[in-house]
Structure 1
Amino acid sequence: MHRRSRRRPALLLTAAIAAAAPLLTACGSDAHPGAAAVVGDQRITVAQLENRVDEVREAQRAAVPDDAQYQQVVARTGTLTRDTLHGMVLDRVLHRAAQDAGVTVSRKEVQGMRGDLETQAGGPEQLETVWLQQYGVAPERLDDNLRVQLEAQKLAQSLGTDTSRPEFWQALSEASKKLDVDLNPRYGAWDVQKSSRVDTPTPWVREVAAAGGQQPA
């Protein structure tokens, strides 16, 4: 059971993300000014997304005080903004799927899972370090993340499956459709079938680059 607990975060937090696209404001983003994504009637603002990213960067900086090593960490996590947005959206999608299935998670369950994982990791600080390094979760967001993992586990159980099976992801796909997830094009698009953020073509980048090349020196 404990081994499954360690796998679940990787499933939910690690997106299959292609090479990073330039973070440029697209024409279509005007529909939701200031929003990185709209999930149902909830907005994830650009400021909220940036705050989440800053939390991770600050934790990484505290964990790696050496400048050169910190820059290596930043380079290895160059898609942090898009990964973070993916996680923020997926959390809401999963929560909707869990609600539809009548699944709830108590604070006691979260604390129980955290205690088990701390024992496995060797202590609270070690667990926070693992979640930061492997999943890009800041220490102050650890309990929130564990709640997501428990929701996923209990949702899968209610469906008579596990989080790796198509039946589980079909439930998330249905929740994505109900919530009508809409991402700001600068961050890509939301694939309803896979319940995942995907990169999208950015033709305006080529157009701007081409126009720039025609400018007189």
Structure 2
Amino acid sequence: MHRRRRTSLALMAATLLAAPLLTACGDDARPGAAAVVGGERITVAQLEAQVGQTRDAQVAVFGEQGYADALDQQCSAARQAELHQRDEAAAQGEKVVAGRETCAPDRATLAGMISERVVKAAADEAGVRPTRKDLRERRVQLQEQTGGTAEQLEEAYLRTYGIPASRIDDHLGYQYRLDGLRQKYAPGSSPEQADQRVRQELVRTAERLGVDISPRYGSWDGEQLLMVAGSDPWLSSDPRRLGEEKAEARSQSQAGGLPAL
């Protein structure tokens, strides 16, 4: 049971559980921002620094070829996450749109940065707040599962998630919050039911916060909860900013011609 739950949450961690399909907002008042979540900017400099930090750490440990192999592994995990999400949507009779871009390091990193903020906001609202003791205990448990040493845990995180040692605690906190949300909103449920309930809460939270994304990195599809290509000056999670007809036209244009993963 616990192993299945960890696997399912890992799939969730590979995608942003975000807001409805994004539509354009007005003038660009966010120079230098890759995204804005709840009024808080994620700057291009912050994003590029995190991407560079990860690359430098992977090259230092695995070499250039190892870095390329790690990207392949992470891309494969993203594809699995997409298939998982699409299967869930199809099973519920929802429209499934092909064509996603989830493997580029900058897009994947930005998705993670936004996801962390959405999950934290939902967890704060639910009263789920990990302590340092909680994170230490989780680190010890994971260290035992990955061979018993801190170095083995750090290598596993770097290879599997593309997360350097300095950010492991951040990711542990992210997973702790997801687990806490499952326990809060779906106690005793199956992993699939719990994931669906948590997803609903995160969609609601993202809608409340508002998520704006620079078209340099794409936009968010709230139906599939995945990143897609975009071309508007700025894209927003607030559907009130454009009429439904224009939003639908944009949705159809974005769905066409994109590379399937």
TM bracket, shorter-chain basis = 0.7 to 0.9
CA distance in 2, matches of 1:105, 1:86: 22
**CA distance in 1 between partners of 2:215 and 2:137 (Å):** 39
Q: What's 1:38 paired with?
A: 36
Other-structure match for 2:56: 58
Three-state SS of the structure 2 residue aligned to 1:182 is strand
Correspondence 1:147 to 2:166? no
Query: Which residue number corresponds to residue 12 of structure 1?
Result: 12
1:118 to 130, 135, 143: 143
Letter paired with 1:127: L
Q: 1:29·1:184 contact (CA, 8 Å) conserved in 2?
A: no
Residues 199 and 29 of structure 1: CA distance in aligned 2, closer, same or farther (over 3 Å): farther
Is 2:154–2:164's contact at 8 Å kept on the other side of the alignment?
yes
Q: CA RMSD in A?
A: 2.7
1:25-67 alpha-carbon deviations (Å, 9 max, x no partner): xx988331100000002110000001110111011111123x4
Residue 213 of structure 2 corresponds to which residue in structure 1? Answer: 183
What's the TM-score, normalizing by structure 2?
Answer: 0.65
| Greater relative contact order structure (CA < 8 Å, 6+ sep) | 2
- Give the share of equivalent positions with the same residue, in percent: 40
User: In structure 1, how many angstroms separate the alpha carbons of the residues matched to 2:205 and 2:7?
Assistant: 23
Q: Which residue of 2 aligns with 1:200?
A: 229
How do residues 16-95 of structure 1 correspond to structure 2 at under 5 angstroms?
A: 30-65=28-63, 67-73=64-70, 79-95=104-120
Q: Which amino acid aligns with 2:216?
A: R
| Cross-structure match for 1:168 | 198
Structure 1 unpaired stretches of 5+: 17-26, 205-217
CA contact (8 A) 2:182 2:198 kept: yes
Does the 8 Å CA contact 2:70/2:160 hold for their aligned counterparts? no
Kindly name which structure, 1 or 2, has the bigger radius of gyration based on alpha carbons: 1
Distance 1:188 1:29, change over 3 A: farther
Give the match's secondary structure for 1:36. Answer: strand
What amino acid is aligned across from residue 83 of structure 1 in structure 2?
Answer: A
Superposed CA offset, 1:119-159 (max 9, x none) = 11111111111111111111110001000000000111000
Q: Taking structure 1 as reference, are residues 112 and 146 closer, same or farther at Cα in structure 2, changes over 3 Å only?
A: same
Question: What CA distance in whole angstroms lies between the structure 1 residues aligned with 2:167 and 2:9?
Answer: 13
Residue identity matched to 2:35: A
Measured in 1, the distance between the counterparts of 2:190 and 2:112 equals: 19
Amino acid at match of 1:149: Q
What secondary structure is seen at the aligned counterpart in 2 of 1:82? helix
**In 1, are the aligned partners of 2:35 and 2:213 still within 8 Å (CA)?**
yes
Number of aligned pairs? 192
Is the 1:29–1:185 Cα contact (8 Å) retained in structure 2?
no
